Amino acid sequence: MKRVGFLLKVKQDKIVEYKKHHEAVWPEMLDALRRNGWHNYSLFMGEDGLLFGYFETPESFQAALAGMAKEEINARWQEFMAPYFESVGGRHADEMMIELAEVFHLD
């Protein structure tokens, strides 16, 4: 299982709303994540909106993203969530995730 960490940035004025939406993620979106190998998935956020995501996946970050790109529900979720992120060139969050290299792990 590959452990994946990534960064994104939520707009400061959208943090409260962003958190609210993640209290009730669409069940179809949760199913799609599971189908595409997103396991033990967590999001952490600083007061400034810096978002750290972590999940475990059988193959790779790229394979997990590619699987989600084929899901219609993911396209709808990305469109719905787009206004919450600091975006570059109008890209959606799943196109802007910055993968972090793992430098230490303790079981």
Domains of the chain: 2-100 (3.30.70.100)
* Mean pLDDT to the nearest integer, 38-58: 97
What confidence score (pLDDT) does residue 89 get? 66
Q: Above 70 in pLDDT, residue 13? A: yes
pLDDT tens figures, 50-76? 999 999 999 999 999 999 999 999 999
Catalytic residue among 22, 39, 92, 105: 22
Pairing mode, strands 50-57 and 2-9:
antiparallel
Q: Is 40 exposed, middle or buried (0-12, 13-18, 19+ CB in 10 A)?
A: exposed
pTM over 0.85: yes
Is 39 marked active-site?
A: no
The residue ranges of DSSP E strands in the chain, in sequence order, are 2-9, 39-45, 50-57, 98-100
